[in-house]
Structures are given as structure tokens and as C-alpha cells.
Chains A and B, each alone.
Chain A
Amino acid sequence: MGDGGRLMLFRRLRDSIPLLPFFAVVAIFLIVPTVTVLIGAVYDEGGFSLARVQALFTETALSALSKSVLLSGSTALLGAIFGALLAWLIVTRPPESLVRRTVLSLCSVLAQFGGVALAFAFLATIGLNGVLTLWVQEYLGANLAGSGWLYGLPGLILVYTYFQIPLMVIVFLPALEGLREQWREAAISLGASTWQYWREVAVPLLTPAFLGSALLLFANAFAAYATAAALVSQGSPIVPLLIRSALTSEVVLGQSGFAYALALEMIVVVAVVMVAYNLLVRRTARWLR
């Protein structure tokens, strides 16, 4: 390396000093915990070991994984379809309208910051003394809350759908807004019907964005914890709740290693899904300018 090279390196180092606080915070509170999980999952009693990863293939862990996949998959599908529909409804309103702003703000709150509150929303609606439960009991004589389905997988699917639809609206709306009016006019002036325009132009253009958003919804549901934790206080049907029980009962059972392995499983699933999501987004970005 010549003098010029050394000087440049020195300058780069000096220039990067103001970035240190940022890198320090991210390193200590994001990278270190993640690496701790990665190492903790394959490190046991002073050496490399696959014992903890093997625990992922026990019946408890596999059943939690399959239920998590079922929950995330079904709510991603429901959320994507109904969310796209709602996004389309919103796009038909002018961008500056109060209706649109109100709906989008509500979507944003429900999708990203709801957590625990959404569990209580459904307890107040169709819980044992829920408002809808009492109405139905009084007027139709049926028991909506019967057998406590709200506290199991069916209940989780319902509540998750409640935040997946708004999330779909938020991530899918930009793609819908990117569809230009000129393209529709061009198609119509070339003799296409509205139906043909949607089938031949809009849907093929929107498909990557739609699939990408659905993947994001899947990852979101797979990693979600707060709503499920508030709703299901006993048992651990899904992976996040199994992590909770591994974390909180570790003193008794020495299960902290199991929590690491489960967290590793979660990282792998979410990372794979997010990589696929990014590939699809890049495809959309080509025409979404």
C-alpha cells in the first residue's frame, strides 16, 4: 500500500468516528443477542453439539412448528386476499381525503402497534362475557364462546387476521398506487375491456407485489408474540409460546438451551421468507417508480 492509500485509509477511519455510537448500540443490543442465540443453539457444555438442535425434532417442538406454520400460512392468505381488496377500496378514494387518512392511520395502529390490545379487543367481543356473545345469546340463544375456541388455534387465526389485513393494506397500497391511469387508458384505447385490462395488465404486474406482501405477512405472523401471549395463558401451541415456556421455566428444567434452539428455528424461518420477499420486491421495484 502506497502513502496515498494509507492516507485514504486513515481519513476513512477518522471520518467514521462519528458513526461509532450508532454501531455500538446496534452491535450490543441487536448483533450480540442474535449471535448469542446462534452460538447458544449449537454450543453445549464447552463444545460444539447438536443436542439442542435435535430437541427441535421432538414431538412437542414439531407440533408447535406445524401449528405456527398453519397459523401464519392461513392468516397470511386471508390477510393478503382481504387486505388487497381493502387496499383497492382505499385507492378508489382521492389521496387527500379524510376517509383515506383515517383508514390508513387505523390500519397502521392495528397492524404494527396493536399487540396485547387486540387480544383484549376480542375478549371483549366474543369472550365469555363479550358483547357479541351476550347479544347472540339473548337474541339467537346460541353460545358463541362455547368450548373456549378463542383461546386455541382457531381464536388465534381470527385475531391474527384482524392485524394481518391492515398490514397487507400498508405494504400492498404502494404497488396499487403505482398502477398508472395511462396504462389502463392505453389498454382501453387498444380495445381491451376492463376485465381484460385487469387480467392481462394489472394482475400480472401486481402478482410479484402480492406474493411478496403475503410472504411478509407470513413472517410477521410467525414472529408475533404479544397477541398470542395475552390470549393463551396456558399451554404453548405455537413456537413463540413454546419459547416463552422454555424461558420462564428454565430454572426448573434447565431449558434455556431449548429456547436458543427455538429462537434459531425462528430466525431461519423468518430469514428464508424475508429473502424471498426481497427478491419479489426487487421485481416490483423495476416498474414501480
Chain B
Amino acid sequence: MRTLGRAALWVVFGLFFLFPLYAMADFSTRNLIQGGRTGAAWANLFTDEALYQAIITSLLLSLLTVVAMLVVLVPTMIWVRLRTPWARGLVEFLCLLPLTIPALVIVVGLKNVYLWVTYLLGESALTLTFVYVVLVLPFAYRALDAALSAIDLQTLAEAARSLGAGWTTTIVRVVVPNIASGVLSAAFISVAVVLGEYTIASLSGFETLQVQIVLIGKSDGPTSVAASLAVLLFGFVLLLGLSLLSRRRRRT
């Protein structure tokens, strides 16, 4: 009786969550004019010039964001634990702050900052990297914090330093390899965040993947649905891969 109830609940939840995803697959391969199936909407991901450009832009943005996030955050978090413990609370607070300040609020107040950014760096969607680094801070912080807590950072750093390594060598060649799993999960989650980001990009007028999806949706529903499903599946594969990877690591 109890297992039956549980199974029924699984089915209900499964239908609620998987049916819209199935509907996306069905909708995006339907031939609206002649009936039957067509892969035209999926082919558009590569043949539609604007959409293809937007995909490239978003992928580049996620790459840049991951690199910038790691360069800024990893040394900071290590340094705070080793040399400036008084600043640890402040760094944590600032990293988690974007959870309390919505992206929508940031974009409203961002105009003056971006006047300077575009003045200095030119008008490119890639300048979004800076804001995106802030946006991924909470997720990246948690992943890195968990990894750093699991190792004996103090001893590792002292050993490296006493053997004559400078701070850069200590961080890049000694500490980072030991928190590789945390770095990897911070990177994966950041990629997923950047690929899904719409608020800041659309309200600052940059054409990223999500902005393009909404734009195309006004005239060509199936293509937008195909691109949306592709992004969801990509994010899902990324996170599931991460989860399986961390399991293997824990076993060894």
C-alpha cells in the first residue's frame, strides 16, 4: 500500500516535470504546414546566422566568465584563509550578497558603470563578463568553499613555502590541484548560469543566446523551443556529469 502510494507520487511528479520537456521535443520537430516531422527548427541552431552568432557569443561569455571568476576568486579565498582571516567574513558576505540583490536591481543601477566600461573597452556583449562574475559568485563560492574546507590548506601552503615556492607557485601548483573538484564544479555551475542568463543581457541591449531565443520566439516558435530545450539539456548533462564525477572521486 505504502510503496504503491509512493510509486503513484513518483508518476505524478514525473508527468508534471517531464511532460513539458517532452512537449518541447514534440513541438520543435513538428511540421506545422505539411504535418509529419521535420528537423528544420533544430537545423536553424546552426544555419540561422543571428542565432548561431548568439550561441557563439554566449559560449565565449561563459568561457570568459569562468576564467575571470577563477582568477579573481580562487586566490582571494586561499589568501583569506591563510593570511587575512579577519577578512573572511566580509568576503563570504560579499560573495553571497548577489542572492539578496536581484539581477534586475543590478541592471537598473548599472547604466553609469557601463558608460565607462563601453568607453574603455568598446561596445561588445563580451563586456557582460564583469557583471556575470558577480552573478556567479554565490554558486562558485559555495563550491570552492566546500573544497577548501576538505583539505589542510595551512599545512600544504607551509610545506610549499618552506621548500622555497613563491605564493603564485604555491597557489597554482600546490593548492589548486588539491581543490580541482571544487574548481570544476564552480566552473560547470558558472557555465550553466551564464548560458541561462537573460535579465541583464536583454535590459542592457546585448544579443546573447537567451535574448535571441526570445526575439526569434515572436516569429518562429519551433526554433525558439528547440534552442530552449538544447540549453536545458546541455545544463542537465553538465550538472549530471558533475554529480557522477564527484561520486567517482569520493570512491577513490
Which A residues lie at the B interface, using CB under 8 A?
Answer: 12, 15-16, 18-19, 21-23, 25-26, 28-30, 32-37, 40, 82, 85-86, 89, 92, 96, 101-102, 104-106, 108-110, 112-118, 120-125, 127, 129-132, 162, 165-166, 219, 223, 225-226, 229-230, 233, 240, 243-244, 247-248, 259-260, 262-263, 266-267, 270-271, 274
Q: How far is the CA of A125 from the CA of B194 in the complex (A)?
A: 26
Given A115-B196, A233-B218, A267 and B105 touching (CB < 8 A)?
Answer: yes
Contacts of A243 in B (CB 8 A): 104, 108
Q: How far is the CA of A120 from the CA of B84 in the complex (A)?
A: 47
Given A101-B240, A266-B102, A230 and B214 touching (CB < 8 A)?
Answer: yes
Contact present for B210 and A115 (CB under 8 Å): yes
Contact present for B130 and A112 (CB under 8 Å): no
Q: How far is the CA of A247 from the CA of B217 in the complex (A)?
A: 22
Contact present for B23 and A33 (CB under 8 Å): no
Q: How far is the CA of A50 from the CA of B135 in the complex (A)?
A: 31
Complex: chain B residue closest to A133, CB-CB = B23
Contact present for A101 and B247 (CB under 8 Å): yes
Q: How far is the CA of A238 from the CA of B17 in the complex (A)?
A: 25
Counting CB contacts under 8 A, is B103 at the interface? yes
Given A106-B17, A115-B197, A115-B210, A225 and B110 touching (CB < 8 A)?
Answer: no
Contact present for B112 and A132 (CB under 8 Å): no
Q: How far is the CA of A203 from the CA of B217 in the complex (A)?
A: 45
Contact present for A16 and B218 (CB under 8 Å): no
Counting CB contacts under 8 A, is B153 at the interface? no
Of all A-B residue pairs in the complex, the 5 with the closest CB atoms, nearest first, are: A33-B109, A223-B102, A36-B109, A124-B27, A117-B228
Complex: chain B residue closest to A37, CB-CB = B109
Q: How far is the CB of B204 from chain A (nearest CB, A)?
A: 10
Contacts of B159 in A (CB 8 A): none
Given A37-B105, A116-B214, A30 and B94 touching (CB < 8 A)?
Answer: yes
Given A29-B133, A223-B102, A225-B198, A105 and B239 touching (CB < 8 A)?
Answer: yes
